[in-house]
Structures are given as structure tokens and as C-alpha cells.
């Protein structure tokens, strides 16, 4: 691979616009996302707070009942609590790290193919670190492994680090890492599919075993019933024989 090809490949990873700002910078993307969320929360909080102020004063004129003010005050308290709940707040470090990795994930996937699945998925990312460039592997945990209880389903590992002027080696390593990520995702999907097949086989075998156990139990119960009926019949025959013998002896 030539240096020019390396430059072209790295250009697809990091694009700088005419203003000098990097639109692919995760920190800037997360800051924009945080700004949008803060604005939404601020609007919602102000709306709820305004309602909390207006409701107590408008309840009686609207309903014509003095008692409506009491209910309106209670509603205003609830509205105030909701306003506090939605008011903007600063993300914690784990929350910010999650949003940053989620932003990287969407950017690396081209904004699509973002649905959680039941196997591990991977993307690669190039991140500047001073005078170096880090090649990172971002992993998204399976959706069904309980990851919802963790701070984030995303994790990041640093794979390689290159000097900023070593573009040819960095571009080649980036392509190799993409191939490795695709291979890891393929193996993870195959493991999940094999596990699904094995689970289905186990469920089928268990169903067959259950049917067999029920059949054996039914046969055993039937055999026991036949033995009781045979014993009762044999006992009845002996009683009848005893009665016949007794009658014969009485006639002598």
C-alpha cells in the first residue's frame, strides 16, 4: 500500500471541515447531544413549572368550586416534582462514556444497523492521542445477557498505536482490524446460533423424555391396576370355592 493510499484511507476516518472543526470528533458529538438533551429537559421543566404556578390560581375560576383549589395545589406539587425530575443535569462519567461510545458506534456504522442483537458486535475507530493515533475496537454486548443493568453495553479496547506520520502502516492496520472485527462478529453470531440450536435440541429431548416418563408411569399404573383386579378376582374365586365346600360339607 502506498503512502498516498494510506492518506486516502485515513481521510475516510477523520474529516475536517473548512472551519477547522472535526465533525467526527466524539467529544464534540457528545457535547452536541448533551446540549440537545439539556434544551429538551429545560423546555419540559419550564413548562411543568409554569403549569404548577398557573393551576392553583385557575382552578376555582374554571370550575366555580372553592374546593377545587385544594386539588389544584396537590396537582401543583406533583408538577413541581416532575419539573425537578426532568430538569437538566450534568452527566456522570459513566453516562458520558456511554454516550461517547454510542456516538462512535452510530458514526462507525454509518448511522444505521443500530438495533441490539443477541450476539457481540464490533466496530473499529481511530482516535487521536497527542502526537499518536490509537486504533480501537468497540464492542457492543449482546442484548440478552443482562447488559441492561450495566452502565453501558459498549466497551472499548486499544489495539494499536501509531505515530501521526506513519499513515501507511496505520491505514493497513485499520483494514486488518476491520477484518478481525468482522470475523469476531461472525464467530459470535455463529456461537449464538449454535447455542439456539442446542437449546432447541435440549428442549425437544426433554419433551421426549417427559413423554417417555409419562408413558412409563401410565404403564406402571395400569400394571398395578391389573394386579389389583387379578388379586381381587382370585380372592373372590377362593371365597366362592370356600362357600361351595362349606355347603357340600353341611349336606353330609
Eight-class DSSP state of 148:
G
CA distance 113 to 121: 11
**For residue 144, what pLDDT is reported?**
65
**201 in a structural domain:** no
**For residue 2, what pLDDT is reported?**
45
**53 in a structural domain:** yes
Sign of the Cα pseudo-torsion (102, 108, 111, 114, in order): negative
Q: Is the pLDDT of residue 152 over 60?
A: yes
Owning domain of residue 61:
7-90
**For residue 75, what pLDDT is reported?**
83
Number of domains the chain is built from: 1
- Look at 240 and 110; give whichever has higher pLDDT: 240
- Look at 24 and 77; give whichever has higher pLDDT: 77
**For residue 178, what pLDDT is reported?**
92
CA distance 227 to 221: 10
C-alpha cell read off for 204: 425437544
**104 in a structural domain:** no
**21 in a structural domain:** yes
User: What average pLDDT is seen over the chain?
Assistant: 80
Q: How far out from the chain centre does Cα 164 lie?
A: 37
C-alpha cell read off for 123: 466496530
CA distance 125 to 106: 11
Say how many C-beta atoms besides its own lie within 10 A of residue 125's C-beta. 21
Contacts of 2 (CB under 8 A, 6+ apart): 168
Q: Cell 421426549 identifies what position?
A: 208
Of 52, 54, 59, nearest in space to 82 by CA: 52
At what angle are helices 68-86 and 26-63 packed, to 10 degrees?
180
**44 in a structural domain:** yes
The pTM of the whole model exceeds 0.85:
no
At 218-239, the pLDDT tens digits run 999 999 999 999 999 998 888 8
252's enclosing H/E stretch is none
**1 in a structural domain:** no
**235 in a structural domain:** no
Give the alpha-carbon dihedral of 105, 108, 111, 113, to 10 degrees.
Answer: -70
**80 in a structural domain:** yes
Q: Is the pLDDT of residue 9 over 60?
A: no
Amino acid at each position: 500500500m502506498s503512502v498516498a493510499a494510506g492518506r486516502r484511507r485515513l481521510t475516510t476516518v477523520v474529516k475536517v471541515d473548512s472551519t477547522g472543526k472535526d465533525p467526527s470528533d466524539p467529544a464534540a458529538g457528545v457535547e452536541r447531544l448533551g446540549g440537545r438533551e439539556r434544551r429538551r429537559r429545560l423546555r419540559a421543566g419550564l413548562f411543568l413549572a409554569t403549569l404548577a404556578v398557573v393551576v392553583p390560581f385557575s382552578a376555582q375560576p374554571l370550575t366555580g368550586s372553592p374546593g377545587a383549589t385544594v386539588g389544584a395545589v396537590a396537582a401543583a406539587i406533583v408538577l413541581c416534582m416532575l419539573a425537578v425530575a426532568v430538569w437538566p443535569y450534568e452527566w456522570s462519567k459513566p453516562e458520558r462514556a456511554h454516550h461517547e461510545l454510542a456516538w462512535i458506534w452510530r458514526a462507525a456504522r454509518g448511522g444505521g444497523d443500530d438495533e441490539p442483537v443477541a450476539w457481540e458486535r464490533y466496530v473499529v475507530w481511530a482516535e487521536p492521542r497527542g502526537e499518536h493515533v490509537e486504533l480501537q475496537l468497540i464492542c457492543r454486548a449482546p442484548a440478552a445477557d443482562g447488559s441492561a443493568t450495566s452502565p453501558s453495553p459498549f466497551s472499548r479496547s486499544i489495539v494499536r498505536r501509531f505515530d501521526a506520520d506513519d499513515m501507511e502502516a496505520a491505514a493497513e492496520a485499520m483494514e486488518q482490524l476491520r477484518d478481525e472485527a468482522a470475523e469476531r462478529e461472525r464467530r459470535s453470531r455463529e456461537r449464538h446460533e449454535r447455542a439456539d440450536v442446542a437449546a432447541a435440541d435440549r428442549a425437544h429431548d426433554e419433551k421426549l423424555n417427559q413423554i417417555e416418563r409419562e408413558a412409563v408411569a401410565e404403564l406402571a399404573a395400569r400394571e398395578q391396576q391389573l394386579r389389583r383386579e387379578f388379586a381381587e378376582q382370585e380372592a373372590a374365586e377362593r371365597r366362592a370355592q370356600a362357600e361351595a365346600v362349606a355347603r357340600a360339607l353341611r349336606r353330609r
